[in-house]
Amino acid sequence: MMGIVAQKDVTSGCHTDNVNQYVVLVVLKMGLDATVLYMCCRKRYTSFLNMCSLSMVLADFVMVLAFSIVLFLGPDRYLMSLCFVLGHASAMYKALPLPMICMVLSDYCLEATRLGKQSARLKILRHTASILLVWILAVIYSFGSVKSDLIKMDFLEGLSALVCEVQESTLISYFTLGLFLAVICSMLPFWSMIPQWVREADRLSVGREKRENQRDLWSTPTNCKCMETKGIEEKPMEETIYSPPLWFSIILGFSLFWMPYLTVSVVGILMDFGVPAYITVNLLWLECTNSFLTGVMFWAKSNTEGPYRLPENVCDWPIYWHLSKGSQQQMFSPAVFDPSNEKRHILLCV
Give 335's pLDDT tier (boundaries 50, 70, 90). Answer: very low
Q: What does the radius of gyration of the chain's CA atoms come to, in whole angstroms?
A: 27
Give 242's pLDDT tier (boundaries 50, 70, 90). Answer: confident
Per residue in 203-225, pLDDT (tens digit) is 887 877 777 666 645 544 444 43
Contact by Cβ (8 Å): 5, 79: yes
> Considering only CA atoms, which of 181, 187, 163, 348 is closest in space to residue 274?
163
Q: β-pairing, 226-230 with 345-349?
A: antiparallel
316 φ, ψ to 5°? Answer: -90, 80
- Cβ-proximal residues to 8 (8 Å cutoff; 6+ apart), any chain: 14, 15, 16, 159, 160, 161
Q: Give Dmax over CA atoms of the chain in angstroms.
A: 93
Give 115's pLDDT tier (boundaries 50, 70, 90). Answer: low
Domain boundaries of the chain, sorted by first residue: 2-166, 185-259+285-349
Q: What share of the chain is helix, strand, coil (3-state, %, to 5)?
A: 65, 10, 25
Q: β-pairing, 14-17 with 2-9?
A: antiparallel
Contact by Cβ (8 Å): 185, 247: no
Contact by Cβ (8 Å): 295, 182: no
243: helix, coil or strand? coil
244: helix, coil or strand? coil
Per residue in 123-164, pLDDT (tens digit) is 888 888 989 999 999 999 988 888 777 777 777 676 777 778
Give 60's pLDDT tier (boundaries 50, 70, 90). Answer: very high
Give 343's pLDDT tier (boundaries 50, 70, 90). Answer: very low
- What is the full DSSP assignment across 257-268? HHHHHHHHHHHH
- What is the full DSSP assignment across 270-312? HTT----HHHHSSHHHHHHHHHHHHHHHHHHHHHHHSS---S-
Distances (CA, A) of 312 to 46, 50, 133, 169, 294: 10, 10, 25, 28, 10
pLDDT, residue 237, reads: 43
In whole angstroms, what is the distance from residue 327 CA to residue 316 CA?
Answer: 16
Query: Model pTM?
Result: 0.79
